[in-house]
Structure 1
Amino acid sequence: MQFKKLVKLLYVQVLIGLALGITVGHYWPEFGASLKPLGDGFVKLVKMMIAPVVFCTIVSGITSLNDSKEIGKTLLKSMGLFYVLTILALLTGLAAVLLLQPGAGMHIDPKLLDPGVAAKFGGKEPPKGFVEFMMHIIPHSFFGAFADGEVLPVLLLAVLCGFGLSRIGRAGQPVLEAIEGFSEMLFSVFGLLMRLAPVGAFGAMAFTVGRYGIKSIGSLGFLIGTFYTACIFFVVVVLGLLARMHGFQLWKLMRYIREELLVVLGTSSSEPVLPRLLMKLERLGCKKGIVGLVLPTGYSFNLDGTAIYLTLASLFIAQACDITLSWGQIAAMLGLMLLTSKGAAGVTGSGFVALVATLTVMPDLPVAGVALIVGVDRFMSEARALTSTMSNAVACVVVSMWEKACDREVLHRELDAGYVEPELTLDNPDPLGSRSHHQPV
């Protein structure tokens, strides 16, 4: 009986899916590689829900804030924290690659590298420069923001609509009620879709192992190990210290969002778990309006896993090609990465695309050097997505505390008890169990 209850838990099902995916991909690689549509299909199903979920959450959140000045202040504090974390992530990747030197001794001739690998990603290049990036945020039309499925244009639209509804008062009440009702429906549908997470994780992992093979890790295993070491250091030391400074324990938060972390691990993408994270952070006592503003913004501006990857991969290419960079060149590269790590946020495979974009404008490093990494990039994408997801969860709780919008009693009670996955029944159509749990402060 206990075993049956255990198997019903979503995170256990995802773990089983991951294990089966690795097994199938390893022993039947061709069949495993053919299962890619399972992972891609799950991610596409969830991504189609993200834009309307973000819109509804932010609009209803903004209208719940008493003072409109809170919004600008919250966003300003969030951006400050995001950039501090990004800088620390860049420095973590730099320290790891300089200390462990995974590319030393490879002696690769840049002229022999295949430039075609980087050329494949040229069309997906993120916006260059601050002005182009800001123009990219403005959608072509009201519904175009939803059609493109990118978070930042939807966030801009939601903030404007939230302000508009706040200004017209009672006249906007029917619209607000419709948005909140639509939001309830979206979260219920999303909870049902998350039941497919084990299948998506199985397909994605079977494809990764079947297509690239576990043996491919061996040739660049030191690089992968260095990257994972840097990510673990950032999570345990930087995020752990940040959480401790604000009175909560990182490992308890990780335990609370373990289902989401496993889905991210299986799909190599943080996007499928955005709606569930929004709800879980509310359950932790964080005010809905703050969560709705900070978390979606963090998904575009707080990609710490990508930041670690950029410095580590760039310096790895330099070491492998026997290119010595001065501290001035490294500093210029870090400044450039502060932009490219944000600009690729809405692009599929953002880490690798951001690396190509960085090397394209760095004359000191060969852009063709990405050919050294492309074979194992998939094995590093999981760590990129996991690191960024954990960083955004911690940042959201921290900013909520700064804004006095976090009920610490609820936070500690929930973290101590841990999240219990509600059973899916006819009497409980909301599998997330999020709406009736409590009302955040």
Structure 2
Amino acid sequence: MARARFVLIASANQPLSRRPLMSSTPGRKPLYKSLYVQVLTAVALGVFLGHFFPQTGADMKPLGDAFIKLIKMIIAPIIFCTVVVGIAGMEDMKKVGKTGGLALLYFEVVSTVALIIGLVVVNLLQPGSGMHVDPASLDTKGIAAYTAPGKMQGTVDFLLNIIPTSVIDAFAKGEILQVLLFSVLFGFALHKFGGRGTMVFDLIEKTSHVLFDIVAIIMKVAPIGAFGAMAFTIGKYGVDSLFSLGKLMGAFYVTCLIFVFGVLGIISRLHGFSVWRFVRYIKEELLIVLGTSSSESVLPRMMEKLENLGARKSVVGLVIPTGYSFNLDGTSIYLTMAAVFIAQATDTPMDLTQQLTLLAVLLLTSKGAAGITGSGFIVLAATLSAVGHVPVAGLALILGIDRFMSEARALTNLVGNGVATLVVAKWTGDLDMERLTQGLANPTTIEAQEPEVLLDQKVATMAVPADAR
């Protein structure tokens, strides 16, 4: 069926809106050209190959690694351009500080709720009870890399690490928080020297759209990356490992669903939108994350889609990158559930006071290891050591299934950061609610699969005189 096409009309620091451009367009793309179908098929093929041909599946790892590296290659410059254009184009600079403060407040409250929910569910379902594992009998060689001294950053080290040694070093290593800090400072400075209309501003804005077009090119190989990553996971760890600790995995996945559709669902409803429709809106990104176990693999496209839903560029540029360090809801759920599971499995009693102590320690340690590879295990090891009465050796119990639980962590983190961006944008008055409602109720094919095209249309319409729009 034909549908109306829409063109975006906005400046870089204004919410997006749309109006019909022409009455109709050709029908939908063929199903096989849908990114959603391509990635879903690739994931299924990856599971098949990894299960029936484990060695061949494990050898597919470079395909997944290559795709993630391609995305990471573009993340730092996209964050820089988005944040600079968003801040330098703002009229009220005080809103930048307000946005950042509200975002951090939201992150702290919601991640605390995630920790508490994980604690409650693991006590109700008792996935580790009856295992009677002796910690002394566990092979701890596999967890040595995560429990080595110095792996866990302290709070002071974490804060100091936000300041880059040099700008080039921050971009070269892809340190998101360091790039974000420099981008905010650059945006403030550019605003002081004229902001919108200056040659530097125009150059950075045009560069951002070139970068998003590069993302569109990279996303064409997303199915290959998802196939390789899933084939490797199943080929190396095997489906059998899912059943040995299936009770914990099942409890964890159920808890993530409760959090997304319960907690985030309530938050979304209170702010005028449906989390169900939001999940449907980002289904392509969720499938890519499912295949790659990396929420960073879709960061650029999430920024595009949130802008297209009506969130102001400056809010998207600040909240999403910060959320990747401070708003890891899925990881928070995992930490409390894994810690209490180990105690249950090793018959280590934990009274209410000890569990509240665990919760308090996790509130601090979960922030200190943000951005570190294997951060879940590092934080868990540091927390168990700090709490004292839960054996660190118990980490060996969940090492084999951690890779399978990472998908749920990444999916929950992705949805959580998307909802956080829309909520903070609503709080600061930087969200076009009409555009949000329209976008979630009936997303067009181009919105779902080629969000960068809409951003390109926005640039084109900016040159149209106001009386002609």
Range class of TM-score, shorter chain? over 0.9
Question: Aligned-pair distance for 1:421?
Answer: 3.5
The letter of the residue matching 1:76 is G
- Taking the aligned partners of 1:407 and 1:160, their CA distance within structure 2 comes to 27
Label 1:140 to 1:394 Cα distance change in 2 as closer, same or farther (>3 A): same
TM-score, length-scaled by structure 2: 0.89
1:434 aligns with 2:459: no
CA distance in 1, matches of 2:148, 2:215: 32
* Paired residues for 1:58-97 under 5 Å: 58-97=83-122
Q: Residue 292 of structure 2 aligns to which amino acid in structure 1? A: T
Match of 1:391 in 2: 416
Deviation string, structure 1 residues 173-225 (Cα, Å, up to 9, x no partner): 22222212221111111110011110011011111111111111111000100
Q: Does residue 47 in structure 1 map to residue 67 in structure 2?
A: no
Deviates more, 1:333-342 or 1:49-58: 333-342
Residue 353 of structure 2 is aligned to residue 328 of structure 1: yes
2:436 corresponding residue in structure 1: 411
Q: CA deviation at 1:340?
A: 2.3
Matched to 1:163, the amino acid is F
Aligned amino acid, residue 344 of structure 2: Q
**In 1, are the aligned partners of 2:49 and 2:57 still within 8 Å (CA)?**
yes
> Does residue 307 in structure 1 map to residue 332 in structure 2?
yes
CA distance in 1, matches of 2:343, 2:275: 35
CA change 1:165–1:433 in 2 (3 A) is same
Amino acid at match of 1:254: V
Confirm or deny that 1:318 pairs with 2:338. Answer: no
Who is 1:247 aligned against? 272
Which of the numbers 324, 337, 345 marks the counterpart of 2:370?
A: 345
After superposition, where does 1:144-293 map in structure 2 within 5 Å? 144-169=169-194, 173-293=198-318
Post-superposition offset of 1:4 = 6.9
Greater radius of gyration (CA) = 2
For the 8 Å contact 2:57–2:228, the answer to whether it is kept is yes
Change (3 A) 1:335 1:279: same
Closer/same/farther in 2, CA of residues 126 and 254 from structure 1, 3 Å limit: farther
Residues 329 and 289 (structure 1 numbering): CA distance in 2 closer, same or farther, change over 3 Å? Answer: same
**Cα distance in 2, alignment partners of residues 170 and 3 from structure 1:** 40
Distance 2:132 2:435 in 1: 56
CA contact (8 A) 2:115 2:332 kept: yes
Which consecutive unaligned segments of at least 5 residues does structure 2 have? 1-25, 463-469
Task: Say whether the 8 Å CA contact 1:117–1:368 is kept in structure 2.
Answer: no
* 1:110 alignment counterpart: 135
* Structure 2 residue corresponding to 1:30, chosen from 29, 36, 55: 55
1:361 matched residue in structure 2 = 386
SS of corresponding position for 1:66: coil
Q: Contact conserved, 1:129 with 1:339, CA < 8 A, in 2?
A: no
Q: Secondary structure at the match of 1:435?
A: helix
Q: Among all aligned residue pairs of Structure 1 and Structure 2, give the percentage whose two residues are the same amino acid.
A: 52
Structure 1, residues 382-404: CA drift from partner, whole Å, max 9, x if none? 00000010011011111111111
The answer as to whether partners of 1:351 and 1:381 remain within 8 angstroms in 2 is no
C-alpha contact (below 8 Å) 1:231/1:308 kept by paired residues: yes
Structure 1 residues 80 and 170: alpha-carbon distance in aligned structure 2, compared to 1, 3 A threshold? closer
For the pair 1:379 / 2:413, whether they are aligned, the reply is no
The CA RMSD measured in Å over matched residues stands at: 2.2
- Provide TM-score, normalisation by structure 1: 0.94
Alpha-carbon distance between aligned partners in 1 of 2:178 and 2:267, rounded to the nearest angstrom: 30
Structure 1 residues 238, 44: CA separation in 2 closer, same or farther (over 3 Å shift)?
Answer: same
Look up the match of 2:14.
Answer: none
CA pair 125-45 structure 1, distance change in 2 beyond 3 A: farther
SS at match of 1:137: coil
Write the deviation string for residues 71-124 of structure 1: whole angstroms up to 9, x where unpaired: 111111111111111011001110111001111011111122223222212469
Asked whether the 8 Å contact 2:64–2:225 carries over to 1, the reply is yes
Find the aligned partners of 1:24 and 1:185 in 2 and give their Cα distance: 36
**Long gaps (5+) in structure 1:** 425-429
**Cα displacement string for residues 311-334 of structure 1 (whole angstroms, at most 9, x for unaligned residues):** 000000000111112322222211
Q: For residue 128 of structure 1, report the CA deviation from its aligned partner.
A: 3.2
Write the deviation string for residues 246-291 of structure 1: whole angstroms up to 9, x where unpaired: 1111111111111111111110010011110111000001111111
Which secondary structure does the structure 1 equivalent of 2:77 belong to? helix
Instruction: Determine the C-alpha separation between the residues in 1 that align with 2:284 and 2:376.
Output: 23
Give the distance between the partners of 1:340 and 1:276, measured in 2 at CA.
Answer: 30
Whether the aligned pair in 2 keeps the contact of 1:423 and 1:431 (CA below 8 Å) is yes
CA contact (8 A) 1:125 1:357 kept: no
Change (3 A) 1:423 1:105: closer
| Distance (whole Å) between structure 1 residues aligned to residue 196 and residue 399 of structure 2 | 54
Q: Which residue of 1 aligns with 2:427?
A: 402
**Alignment partner of 2:227: what SS?**
helix
Once residues 414 and 68 of structure 1 are traced to their aligned partners in structure 2, the CA distance between those partners, rounded to angstroms, is 29
- Relative to 1, partners in 2 of residues 1:156 and 1:127: Cα closer, same or farther, differing over 3 Å? farther
CA contact (8 A) 1:127 1:133 kept: no
Aligned to 1:427: none
8 Å CA contact 1:151–1:296 kept in 2: the answer is yes
Q: Take 1:368 and 1:183, find their aligned partners in 2: how far apart are those partners? A: 47
Query: Could you tell me whether the CA contact under 8 Å between 1:97 and 1:316 is conserved in 2?
Result: yes
